[in-house]
Amino acid sequence: MNSINRYYLAPEQWGSCELVLTGDEAHHCVRVLRQKVGDWIMVFDGVGRSVQCQIVSAEKSRVILEQDGEVVTQPRGGEIHLAQAIPKAGNMELIVQKAVELGVASIQPLQTENTVAKADGKKVQKWQRVALEACKQCGQNWLPVVREPASLMEWLGKRERIEHELVAALDPRSVSMQDMFGGQCEWEIVRLLIGPEGDFSQSEYDAIMAAGMQPVSLGEIVLRVETATLYCISVLRYHMV
């Protein structure tokens, strides 16, 4: 067996032996991937657990599975919480997909003064679906939550403070990521804020600094938003425990 398809089942729907896929996951299993009774699949719950199952009944809206083997729990590792100004031209989908592949713990879409794109409930649902599909594709058993969009100023005031909070910044107060880390760091949780095309305004920078976030420089080359996001996550993932 060279590959095995993966499906999501929410934690509250897990039983001791029999598992049941319904809704979109059942449709994807039976109608899209054409799986049938006797096929082997993997099921994960989005909070670290996965188990191999065999299909014992396959209908378009209900797929009954029998667990075969031990439930495996995937360690989470360091948590990176991404706060992302929503980019234009649909690039948020790319950011969500790749950020999930790199193991982010949550994604907070933000509206800023220079944000052009608008977000509503349908877009959030689409981004969450992109996150789920990325988990299924890459073998990630931790499903990040894509939160409801918020304005930058509102989010700064209401966010839960953590010790390590970084903002990618074209600002003279920034320190280089090389100087910040130097070697392996002891951080277990970090928040990363990435701005929009056109960067943050000066008043936004002032508010971000006043809120206690550390500005970091990504070097002399000005990166596109999606490039900056994935670069920062990759550097953090390399250095974190």
In a domain, 1, yes or no: no
pLDDT band of 1, cuts 50, 70, 90: very low
Task: Say yes or no: 131 and 48 in one domain.
Answer: no
Task: Say yes or no: 40 and 145 in one domain.
Answer: no
In a domain, 193, yes or no: yes
Q: Work out the average pLDDT over 72-96.
A: 93
Taking the C-alpha atoms of residue 119 and residue 150, their distance in angstroms, rounded to an integer, is 9
Whether 2 shows a pLDDT value over 80: the answer reads no
Distances in Å between the Cα of 61 and the Cα atoms of 31, 123, 125 are 9, 25, 21
How do residues 190-227 score in pLDDT, each as one tens digit?
Answer: 999 999 998 999 999 999 999 999 999 998 888 999 99
**Structural domain ending residue among the three candidates 40, 73, 106:** 73
Q: How many CB atoms lie within 10 A of CB 21?
A: 25
Q: Which domain holds residue 48?
A: 6-73
Whether 171 shows a pLDDT value over 70: the answer reads yes
**Structural domain ending residue among the three candidates 27, 55, 73:** 73
How do residues 7-33 score in pLDDT, each as one tens digit?
Answer: 999 999 998 778 999 999 999 999 999
Closest by CA position to 126, among listed 90, 101, 150: 90
Question: Helix axis angle, 91-101 relative to 225-239, nearest 10°?
Answer: 10
Q: Work out the average pLDDT over 33-48.
A: 96
How do residues 178-191 score in pLDDT, each as one tens digit?
Answer: 888 776 577 899 99
Task: Say yes or no: 197 and 85 in one domain.
Answer: yes
In a domain, 66, yes or no: yes
Total domains in the chain come to 2
Taking the C-alpha atoms of residue 139 and residue 120, their distance in angstroms, rounded to an integer, is 29
Rg, the chain, Cα only: 20
Task: Give residue 184's pLDDT.
Answer: 58
Task: Say yes or no: 62 and 180 in one domain.
Answer: no
CATH of the domain at 31: 2.40.240.20
Task: Say yes or no: 202 and 142 in one domain.
Answer: yes
* 99 three-state secondary structure: helix
| Mean pLDDT computed over every residue of the chain | 92
Task: Say yes or no: 99 and 209 in one domain.
Answer: yes
Task: Say yes or no: 112 and 201 in one domain.
Answer: yes
Whether 89 shows a pLDDT value over 50: the answer reads yes
**Structural domain ending residue among the three candidates 73, 108, 131:** 73
Task: Say yes or no: 96 and 175 in one domain.
Answer: yes
Task: Say yes or no: 121 and 63 in one domain.
Answer: no
Closest by CA position to 109, among listed 16, 15, 225, 240: 225
CATH of the domain at 142: 3.40.1280.10
pTM of this structure: 0.92
pLDDT band of 241, cuts 50, 70, 90: low
